[in-house]
Amino acid sequence: MMLLLVLGWKIMDYKTVGVDIEAGDAFVGNISQIVKSTHRPEVLGRFGGFNGMTKIPTGYEKPVLVSGADGVGTKVHVAELNATGNPSVMRGIGLDLVAMCVNDVITCGAKPLYFLDYICTSDIKTYGDWVKELVSGIAEGCNLSGCSLLGGETAEHPQRLGLVDPVRDLAGFCTGIVEENEIIDGSLIRESDVVIGIESNGVHSNGYSLIRDMLFRHKIYLSDMPELLNPTIIYAPVVESLLKDFPIMGMAHITGGGIPGNLPRCIPEGLKVDVDYNAWPMPKLFSKIMLAGEIPEEEMKKTFNMGIGYCVVVPANVAEDTQSIIKTYGLKSWIIGEVTHI
């Protein structure tokens, strides 16, 4: 060490280069109760260990585990524009993260069981409040979905080339469970079944690279379109209710690619659905985006959900009753198409 000092070299440590282990440990302690508030009875072990453990819930004869991973894309960077002085904005992004993963997992009839997150920030000490709000939103989403926040990783990647990212990267991982003979894979969909579209809460979490271009290119303030930060709806509660009472033939989560890119994923070969885009009132937000961003209508349909966040395929004779149950969850729905042969 004396030689290094004589040579004029600086003694370096992890904190000096931007990774504060003590601040990271303190952050984990600050979120422990938030995480524990989501735990189902099946959770084993203590918080802060090397892994998360959970038992398989009782009552399953041939349980199948269903997993999915996703993120919120560049919506997190749009949220950061409003988060300075108001870190609670990040709570909605936490809800988004859970919704994007859970809504995928439930399309096969699975119930969400547990969730893991990966959060990367450039500075946990500076942005600890932001990340805590993010975790609070994740925990809220887990409670709404009925799954445990079992663990995750909060990483600190120091700034590079002078760039500081409050949230540099974000990902979620969800595992659900379903009885093997109750898996919904679309194979039972038949001609004359109908597609019920359930409303979205705005853009949800897709298409934000196009939205960011619109905002910056035309110097549009986020305050002019605050609904851009509406959190993604978590459809798990309503879907669980529908599965108890109705024959659900197929389901689709409407994300990137819009209805054309997602609904066909649950439709068997030889069948199709011609979607009637006049069947529901398109939210004004999408008209604003289309006009302000100078985006053609067909591109809008291929990018955004256009007001439909989730679809269920049912026999026509139960469609009305299905919609009645959806309504009890405070959600609007419409019959947006019928299954026909190609």
What are the 10-residue block averages of pLDDT along the chain, 342 residues in total? 53 69 70 90 89 96 98 93 86 97 98 96 84 95 98 82 72 98 97 98 96 86 88 98 97 97 97 98 95 94 98 98 98 98 95
Place of tokens 């093997």: 180
Query: Which one is the CATH code of 10-48+60-182: 3.40.50.9100, 3.30.70.3270, 3.40.50.80, 3.30.1330.10?
Result: 3.30.1330.10
Question: What whole-number distance in Å separates Cα of residue 284 and Cα of residue 154?
Answer: 37
**Cβ–Cβ under 8 Å, residues 114 and 175:** yes
**In CATH, which superfamily holds the domain spanning 194-341?**
PurM-like C-terminal domain (3.90.650.10)
The per-residue pLDDT for 17 is 66
Residues 6+ apart with CB under 8 A from 115: 38, 98, 101, 102, 138, 141, 142, 145, 147, 148, 149, 150, 172, 173, 174, 175
The per-residue pLDDT for 9 is 56
In degrees and rounded to multiples of 5, residue 23 shows phi and psi of -65, -35
Query: Taking the alpha carbons of 34, 103, 234, 57 in that order, is the dihedral positive or negative?
Result: negative
The per-residue pLDDT for 48 is 80
For the stretch 275-304, pLDDT in tens is: 999 999 999 999 999 999 999 999 999 999
The per-residue pLDDT for 311 is 98
The per-residue pLDDT for 122 is 84
The per-residue pLDDT for 271 is 98
Residues 6+ apart with CB under 8 A from 161: none
CATH 3.30.1330.10 domain residues, the chain: 10-48+60-182
CATH 3.90.650.10 domain residues, the chain: 194-341
Tell me how far CA of residue 264 lies from CA of 48, 151, 300, 323, in angstroms.
42, 34, 18, 21
